[in-house]
């Protein structure tokens, strides 16, 4: 949908300066000072209702040439706000006909003539704007039945297109423009040299696509940020028999890599977290029986990329819920200037519309936006108020700096206000992660969001966009705030995360889930954890109930893989190792988790038998598919120190998998397309 409104630039700059200069407002202050907008509850025959429909907002207009964005006119409408209004409809007159231009929030809207050249979002053309001769507005609200209520029209203000006066250009400006064009020419010439030389870098921030690939990628200035982790190495089972990690249910790394590959770019090594590639897919593990919260499935076979090792695959599957609990969801949406691209704010709006379409009247829904200022757009609405939510989403506009700290405070305050006992209470943060006001340091952000865990409100982070993505900050928010992190690169991914896997994303069945494997030194010489570099825990953290770990959703699976070198094939056999008393146990998996709302964890134990080993060709479809995913992710992340890790070999094995067998575990062919394009780029 075309977005027709932009806030005035002067207002944005002032807001950014004020946000930078003022200390953050506490949640306590919000409760004191803020009257949150809510759906209309007054009866249709009440005095309050009659006052609203008779209200006539007072409108004024300013029309000025807009040189900065190369258009002839810029029309700013300002009005007095009406009590109980959630938004405003703006109307323009063409000839004798009035047409609704679109919704707007707050007390002003700016309509740009010409194309808004700094973003992908297009406004009115200069010709279209010149066809309007007058404007007026109406205040809009919704009752709890999602029925729209309109106020009276405002006064009508006339508009006359202004001629653009001549612009005086100084010599310095001409020189600066010439220097800029010269720099651009040099950069483009270097880009052509790379394309002609067919040279591509595995770990570059961007790499041009081969000329044979459709939609060859044009390089852009890349300021994306990722956390770098040291890769896991082999550990001797005799010296370090314990391996302790937090569960990981995030899937952002795979969807983000898919975005890059679709743009003709091999992902930066630090952007690839192997466990998130593996856990992106469903493996149809056996479901828990009886009152068990988790089931454990495992397979042991040859490691395809390391001939000296065997590969152990552990599948942990959480119980599902028959009836989804009532939800209290707060949409926290970044509307800063960096979100002003078609794959950012418009995609977020469509994503949250999809989610709201799945909600019921028993659910509660609120919307908060933040940039240089934070705005509460809606609180305490019924979940099934789809028209109201759609209207507000369509009225969102991106502009200003990014004060995420203030927005998060406000969102958690509202989530606590409408807290549902035994329900799903969650803040859903949609952002590109570019926090530049308030807390912007990743470590400080982790401490800040960790303090929100005590509220009982969970967090889902939806990352969007390219070129400016701050993946490191979003990963930290999710990891430290009882959250999960997903990257939304397309409408299909939004449906997967928020509709198809809604219960997994939003309904938590186990808190602080930790795994600890104890390897038997009599059978295992050494082992290596595949991925999970950012989820490693100290061994003593396993039994420490104060140590935070990941939370697992209803029906969700967690997959963990280890490369295992057996003693009978090791270069340094443990000659004097004492017997464990049981030489049939390869290792023991211990799990600790808390029931939601509990402060004390429970522990389970599963034994993995060495005799479960199968030849690779005899393993099931899930093992062979997961091995392909793992090897591809290891290659892309630069984790190639052990064995012969090859994305081409992984792709070759993948192509041999039976599609009918894959379909049985619910897999679609997205990974095949991803691999085919990644292999081309890796040449």
Q: How far is CA 98 from the centre of its chain?
A: 40
Common-topology check for domains 37-158 and 235-321+509-681: yes
Domain 37-158 has what CATH class? mainly beta
Q: In what order do the strands lie in the sheet with 458-463?
A: 374-382, 364-370, 327-334, 424-431, 458-463, 483-487
pLDDT at 15: 38
Note the pLDDT tens digit of each residue in 249-305: 899 999 999 999 999 999 999 999 999 999 999 999 999 999 999 999 999 999 999
Residue in 556, 535, 563, 683 with CA at minimum distance from that of residue 634: 563
- State the Cα–Cα distance between residues 550 and 27, nearest whole angstrom: 26
Tokens of 292: 């068990």
- State the Cα–Cα distance between residues 519 and 321, nearest whole angstrom: 34
550 SS3 class: strand
CA distances, 304 to each of 297, 427, 652 (Å): 20, 41, 12
Fold classification of 235-321+509-681 (topology level): Immunoglobulin-like (2.60.40)
∠ CA 662-663-667, nearest 5°, is: 75
Residue 236, beta-bridge partner list: 526
Mean pLDDT value across the chain? 82
Note the pLDDT tens digit of each residue in 468-512: 888 998 898 888 878 899 999 999 999 999 999 999 999 999 999
For 577-604, the DSSP string reads PPP-S-TTEEEEEEEEEE-TT-SS-EEE
pLDDT at 666: 80
Note the pLDDT tens digit of each residue in 607-653: 999 999 999 999 999 999 999 999 999 999 999 999 999 999 999 99
Residues with Cβ within 8 Å of residue 17, at least 6 apart in sequence: none
Name the residue ranges covered by the structural domains of the chain.
Answer: 37-158, 235-321+509-681, 327-502
Tokens of 374: 């934070």
pLDDT for 573 beyond 80: no
pLDDT at 20: 38
Q: What percent of the chain has pLDDT over 90?
A: 60
Give the length of the chain. Answer: 683
CA distances, 577 to each of 163, 523, 526 (Å): 90, 10, 13
Of residues 539 and 345, more confidence is placed in 539
Residue 605, beta-bridge partner list: 590
Long-range contacts of 358-363 (CB under 8 A, 24+ apart): 358/498, 358/499, 358/502, 359/327, 359/329, 359/383, 359/384, 360/326, 360/384, 362/326, 363/326, 363/327, 363/328, 363/329
Q: What is the pTM for the complete model shown? A: 0.83
Q: How far is CA 369 from the centre of its chain?
A: 16
pLDDT for 60 beyond 90: yes
Alpha-carbon radius of gyration of the chain: 28
Note the pLDDT tens digit of each residue in 594-610: 999 899 999 999 999 99
Fold classification of 327-502 (topology level): Rossmann fold (3.40.50)
- State the Cα–Cα distance between residues 149 and 224, nearest whole angstrom: 44
pLDDT for 204 beyond 70: no
Provide the angle, in degrees to the nearest 10, between the axes of the packed helices 670-681 and 647-655. Answer: 150
Greatest distance between any 2 Cα atoms in the chain: 97
pLDDT at 582: 53
pLDDT for 75 beyond 70: yes
User: Which run of H or E residues covers position 524?
Assistant: strand 524-529
Residue in 103, 112, 107, 37 with CA at minimum distance from that of residue 70: 112
pLDDT for 245 beyond 50: yes
Q: How many CA atoms lie within 13 A of 449 on its CB side?
A: 30
Backbone dihedral region of 144: left (phi > 0), alpha (psi from -120 to 50 degrees) or beta? alpha
Q: Residue range 178-189: average pLDDT?
A: 56
Note the pLDDT tens digit of each residue in 20-42: 333 443 334 434 445 689 999 99
């Amino acid at each position: 949908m075309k977005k027709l409104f932009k806030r005035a630039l002067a207002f944005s700059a002032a807001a950014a300066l004020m946000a930078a200069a003022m200390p953050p407002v506490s949640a306590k202050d919000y409760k004191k000072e803020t009257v949150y907008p809510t759906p209309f509850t007054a009866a249709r025959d009440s005095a309050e209702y009659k006052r609203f429909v008779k209200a006539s907002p007072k409108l004024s207009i300013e029309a000025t040439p807009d040189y900065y964005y190369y258009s002839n006119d810029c029309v700013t409408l300002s009005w007095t706000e009406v009590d109980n209004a959630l938004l405003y409809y703006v109307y323009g007159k063409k000839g004798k006909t009035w047409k609704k231009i679109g919704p707007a929030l707050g007390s002003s809207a700016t309509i740009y003539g010409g194309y808004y050249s700094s973003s992908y979002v297009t406004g009115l053309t200069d010709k279209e704007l010149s066809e309007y001769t007058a404007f007026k507005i109406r205040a809009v609200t919704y009752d709890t039945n999602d029925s729209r209520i309109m106020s009276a029209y405002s006064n009508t203000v006339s508009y006359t297109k202004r001629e653009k006066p001549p612009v005086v250009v100084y010599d310095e400006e001409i020189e600066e423009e010439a220097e800029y064009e010269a720099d651009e020419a040099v950069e483009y010439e270097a880009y052509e040299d790379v394309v002609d030389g067919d040279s591509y870098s595995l770990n570059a921030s961007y790499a041009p696509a081969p000329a044979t690939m459709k939609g060859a990628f044009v390089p852009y200035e890349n300021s994306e940020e990722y956390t770098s982790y040291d890769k896991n190495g082999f550990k001797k089972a005799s010296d370090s028999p314990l391996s302790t990690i937090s569960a990981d249910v995030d899937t952002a790394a795979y969807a983000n890599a898919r975005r890059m590959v679709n743009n003709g770019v091999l992902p930066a090594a630090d952007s690839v977290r192997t466990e998130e590639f593996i856990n992106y897919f469903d493996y149809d593990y056996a479901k828990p029986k009886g009152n068990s919260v988790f089931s454990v499935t495992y397979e042991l076979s040859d490691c395809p990329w390391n001939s000296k090792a065997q590969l152990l695959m552990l599948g942990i599957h959480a119980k599902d819920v028959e009836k989804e609990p009532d939800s209290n969801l707060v949409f926290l949406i970044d509307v800063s200037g960096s979100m002003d691209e078609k794959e950012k704010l418009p995609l977020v709006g469509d994503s949250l519309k999809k989610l709201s379409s799945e909600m019921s009247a028993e659910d509660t829904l609120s919307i908060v936006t933040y940039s240089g200022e934070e705005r509460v757009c809606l609180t305490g609405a019924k979940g099934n108020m789809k028209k109201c939510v759609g209207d507000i989403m369509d009225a969102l506009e991106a502009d200003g700096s990014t004060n995420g700290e203030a927005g998060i405070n406000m969102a958690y305050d509202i989530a606590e206000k409408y807290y549902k006992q035994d329900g799903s209470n969650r803040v859903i943060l949609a952002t590109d992660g570019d926090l530049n006001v308030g807390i912007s340091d990743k470590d400080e952000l982790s401490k800040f969001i960790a303090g929100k865990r005590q509220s009982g409100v969970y967090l889902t982070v939806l990352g969007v966009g390219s070129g400016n993505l701050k993946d490191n900050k979003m990963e930290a928010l999710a990891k430290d705030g009882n959250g999960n992190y997903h990257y939304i690169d397309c409408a299909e991914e939004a449906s997967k995360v928020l509709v198809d896997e809604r219960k997994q994303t939003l309904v938590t069945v186990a808190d602080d889930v930790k795994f600890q494997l104890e390897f038997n030194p009599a059978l295992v010489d050494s082992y290596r954890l595949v991925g999970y570099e950012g989820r490693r825990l100290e061994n003593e953290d396993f039994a420490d109930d104060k140590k935070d770990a990941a939370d697992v959703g209803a029906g969700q699976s967690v997959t963990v893989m280890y490369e295992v070198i057996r003693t009978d094939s090791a270069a340094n056999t443990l000659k004097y190792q004492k017997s464990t008393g049981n030489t049939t146990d390869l290792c023991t998996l211990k799990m600790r988790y808390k029931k939601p709302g509990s402060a004390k964890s429970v522990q389970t134990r599963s034994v993995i038998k060495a005799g479960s080993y199968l030849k690779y060709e005899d393993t099931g479809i899930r093992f062979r598919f997961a091995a392909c995913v793992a090897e591809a992710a290891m290659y892309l992340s630069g984790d190639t120190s052990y064995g012969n890790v090859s994305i081409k070999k992984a792709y070759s094995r993948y192509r041999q998998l039976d599609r009918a067998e894959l379909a049985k575990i619910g897999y679609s062919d997205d990974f095949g397309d991803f691999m085919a394009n990644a292999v081309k780029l890796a040449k």
